[in-house]
Amino acid sequence: MATTSWTRRHVLSLSDFSVAEYDIVLRTAASFREVLSRRTKKVPTLQGRVVTNLFFEPSTRTRSSFELAAKRLSADTLNFAPGSSSLTKGETILDTAKTYLAMGTDIMVIRHREAGVPHAIAREMDRLGTNVGVLNAGDGQHEHPSQALLDLFTICRYLDRENPHTALLQGKKVAIVGDILHSRVARSNIWSLTESGADVHLAAPPTLLPKLFREAMGQKHPDRLHLHWSIEPALEDADFVMTLRLQRERMTANLLPSLREYHQQFGITRDRLQRCQPNVQVLHPGPVNRGVELSSDLMDDPALSLIQTQVTSGVAVRMALLYLMGGGRNS
């Protein structure tokens, strides 16, 4: 695999990723996606290396995906479980990370409910002169790079199964619908999609999509980021519709009326998709609240939904990231 221009030790944010870097991830993931379709889905790339999942915020789905990706690469995995941890004993997060460093961790996959924790750990690892790579698996409402990269891979592979690459996104319209304000998935996707050349249209109630959001996220490509406070203009001629998970907590915070009202105004249905391109595809990072973000029948329709494909892409993309961060080189 060509990893010639890959120079990152850490994957913390997509805000400064280049088109060339996206294309390396897509190309590498494509080759691992091919491995996954074999009967024996393992490669010895990371044999003897240690990948530690430090999930301060629990998540079965994302942790399983990383764990499986690491095992497919023949790495040993350690899982840090916050419940039974030293955290309750007063240890700092950096000290926890340094303990796993001292045990021999090569790559740390970190999720934390506060923005910036993976960055702080990465800085500490660099300061100490280690070779450890840090991967942000979701920090607060900030970023979730591996999710956005698997979304990018899913979309590009849908457009060209043999050769997924960013140029395919030129002129494509992608709608992102839902709780934009609180979504790390949305933020990472905005960086990757606009940089790759897509037109991104955000749609949400004003409480979940403040005007200021445009300034924060549209600096690099202002012409490719569009805000809407109703769903119709966002869906108009869209090629892809990304729905975001709605946190039930938002309601208690008075940011939303009822789930039913939300679904009536912003829920994705077969009817609403009529406004989109004929081949429109729906994505969702999961887990889905059926009947809230999108209608149940839509989710299960393989002609319209890429949701299952996203999960499979997730393993391939995470293999690619661990491989690239591990300094892998096959060719």
Residues binding a second copy (CB under 8 A): 36, 38-42, 47-50, 58-61, 64-65, 67-68, 71-72, 76, 78, 80-81, 83-86, 89-92, 95-96, 98-104, 245, 248, 286-290, 308-312, 314-315
Q: Which residue, 83 or 278, has its beta carbon nearer to a second copy?
A: 83
Smaller CB distance to a second copy: residue 102 or 212? 102
Shortest distance (Å) from residue 159 CB to a second copy: 20
Q: How far apart are the first and last CA of the chain?
A: 5
* 256 within 8 A of 298, measured Cβ to Cβ: no
Question: Whole-number minimum distance, CB 59 to a second copy, in Å?
Answer: 7
Q: And the tokens for 308?
A: 């299952």
Long-range contacts of 1-5 (CB under 8 A, 24+ apart): 1/27, 1/28, 1/31, 1/323, 1/328, 1/329, 1/330, 1/331, 2/27, 2/331, 3/28, 3/324, 3/328, 3/329
Q: Based on C-alpha coordinates, what's the Rg of the chain?
A: 19
Q: Is the CB of 20 or the CB of 81 nearer to a second copy? A: 81
CB of 67 to a second copy, least distance (A): 7
Cα 103–108–114 angle (5° rounding)? 120
C-beta of 84 vs 212, nearer to a second copy: 84
Per the structure block, which two tokens stand in for 169? 């996104």
Q: Which is nearer to a second copy, 277 or 289 (CB)?
A: 289
